[in-house]
Amino acid sequence: MSQDPHSPGNEEKKRRFSLFGGRSREEKEAEKEAKRQAELDRKAEKEARRLAEKQAKEDEKRRRLEEKARRKGKLPPPSAEPLSFEPVVPESPKAPEAPVTPPPVAEPPKAPQPVAPSAPPPVAEPPKAPPPPVPPAPPVASPPPAAKPEPQPAPEAPKPPPPAPPKVEFAKPEPAKPEVAPPPPVADWAPPPVMPRPEAPAPEVAPAPPAQAGDKAPLEPPVQTPVQEPVQEKTVPAPAAPLPPSDAPPPAEAAQEGPKDGETPKEGEAAKEGEESEEEEQKSWLRRLFDALARSSGRLAQGIVDLFAKRKLDDDTLQELEDLLITADMGVETSARLCTALAKERFGKHVPPEEVKAVLAEEIADILEPVAKPLEIDRKAKPHVVLVVGVNGAGKTTTIGKLARYFKRQGRTVSMAAGDTFRAAAVEQLKVWGGRTACHVFARETGADAASLAFDAYTEAQNYGDDVLLIDTAGRLQNKVGLMEELKKIVRVLRKVDESAPHTCLLVLDATVGQNAHSQVETFRDMIEVNGLVMTKLDGTARGGVIVALADRFGLPIHALGVGEKIDDLRPFKARDFANSLMGLDEKSAGLLGGGKE
Q: In a 10 Å sphere around its CB, with 0-12 CB exposed, 13-18 middle and 19+ buried, how is residue 132 labelled?
A: middle
The reply to whether 476 sits in an annotated binding site is yes
Which residue intervals of 72-111 are DSSP H helices? 80-91, 94-100, 102-105
Amino acid letter, residue 576: R
504 marked among binding-site residues: no
Query: Domain residue spans in the chain?
Result: 28-166, 373-573
Rounded CA separation 559/573 (Å): 6
CATH 3.40.50.300 assigned to 373-573: yes
Q: Is 323 annotated as a binding residue?
A: no
Confidence at 137, pLDDT banded by 50, 70, 90: very low
Cα atoms in the Cβ-side hemisphere of radius 13 Å centred on 528: 33
536 is in an annotated binding site: yes
d(CA 526, CA 519): 11
Bridge-based pairing of strands 384-389 and 440-442 is unpaired
Distance between CA atoms of residues 114 and 120, nearest Å: 11
pTM of the predicted model as reported, rounded to 2 decimal places: 0.54
Q: Is 266 annotated as a binding residue?
A: no
Residue 391 marked ligand-binding: yes
Region 568-582: mean pLDDT is 89
Among 88-92, 284-288, 493-497, 560-564, the minimum mean pLDDT is found in: 88-92
The answer to whether the annotation marks 390 as part of a ligand binding site is yes
Mean pLDDT of 240-257: 39
Kindly report the three-state secondary structure assignment for every residue of 514-568: CCHHHHHHHHHHHHHCCCEEEEECHHHCCCCCHHHHHHHHCCCCEEEEECCCCCC
- Beta-strand pair 570-572/558-562: antiparallel
Residues with Cβ within 8 Å of 472's Cβ and at least 6 positions away in sequence, in order, are: 388, 396, 397, 400, 416, 417, 418, 419, 420, 426, 430
Residue 1 predicted with pLDDT over 60: no
The per-residue pLDDT for range 279-302, each reduced to its tens digit, is 676 677 677 777 777 777 788 888
Residues 6 or more apart from 151 whose CB is under 8 A from it? 59, 60, 63
Q: Is residue 340 marked as binding? A: no
| Gap between the terminal Cα atoms of the chain | 132
Q: What angle do CA 590, 595, 597 make, to 5 degrees?
A: 80
**pLDDT tens digit sequence for 398-450:** 999 999 999 999 999 999 999 998 887 889 999 999 999 999 999 998 888 99
Residue 473 annotated as lining a ligand binding site: yes
Please state whether the peptide bond connecting residue 244 to the residue before it is cis, i.e. omega within 30 degrees of 0: no
Task: Please answer whether residues 401 and 560 qualify as being in contact, where contact means their C-beta atoms are separated by less than 8 angstroms.
Answer: no
How far apart, in whole angstroms, are the C-alpha atoms of residue 53 and residue 399? 68
393 labelled as ligand-binding? yes
Asked whether residue 475 is marked as a ligand-binding residue, the answer is yes
Q: Which of 555, 553, 545, 551 is nearest to 579 (CA)?
A: 545
Do 358 and 589 touch, CB atoms closer than 8 A?
yes
Task: Round the CA-based radius of gyration of the chain to a whole number and report it.
Answer: 47
pLDDT at 588: 54
CA distance 519 to 521: 6
pLDDT band at residue 155 using 50, 70 and 90 as cut-offs:
very low
The answer to whether 523 is a known ligand-binding residue is no
Find out whether 264 is annotated in a ligand binding site.
no
